[in-house]
Amino acid sequence: GFAGIFDTWQNKESGETVRSCAIITTGPNSLMEPIHDRMPVILDAEAEALWLDPATEDPSRLTALLQPYPAEEMEGYPVSTIVNSAREDSPEMIERVDAEEPTQPRQPGFPTD
């Protein structure tokens, strides 16, 4: 799973209970580096158990987990450019496509090299 944090807090102005969360990122591994300068922290089963264990009191045990996942344990392949749309949510988004399929230009703020 992904390493993440969450919090629930009370908005002092509105009184509304706010739930928020974030996925923690790290530098890229060699597979992800050509795509982006960050990647989610991916935890194996043992690391996931440690991350979620409320008895873990030593923060250094958790910060040691914030490393790029081994590239050799991942697979990369081209997918449709529909993944770039936040409006899309379909199984086709993860299906392999021919590498020759036209791709959208990189978005501003994303590395080009």
In the chain, DSSP finds a helix count (H) and a strand count (E) of: 2, 4
In whole angstroms, what is the distance from residue 110 CA to residue 108 CA?
Answer: 6
E strand segments, the chain: 4-10, 17-23, 25-26, 39-40
45-104 pLDDT, tens digit each: 999 999 999 999 999 999 999 999 999 999 999 999 898 898 989 998 999 999 765 555
Task: Identify the pLDDT of residue 99.
Answer: 79
Q: Is the per-residue pLDDT at 10 higher than 70?
A: yes
In whole angstroms, what is the distance from residue 83 CA to residue 50 CA?
Answer: 32
In whole angstroms, what is the distance from residue 51 CA to residue 45 CA?
Answer: 10
Contact call for residues 40 and 32 (beta carbons, < 8 A) = no
pTM value is: 0.76
Question: How many angstroms separate the Cα of 107 from the Cα of each of 9, 10, 101, 104?
Answer: 33, 35, 18, 8
Q: Identify the DSSP state of 103.
A: -
Q: Residue 75 has which token pair? A: 């697979």
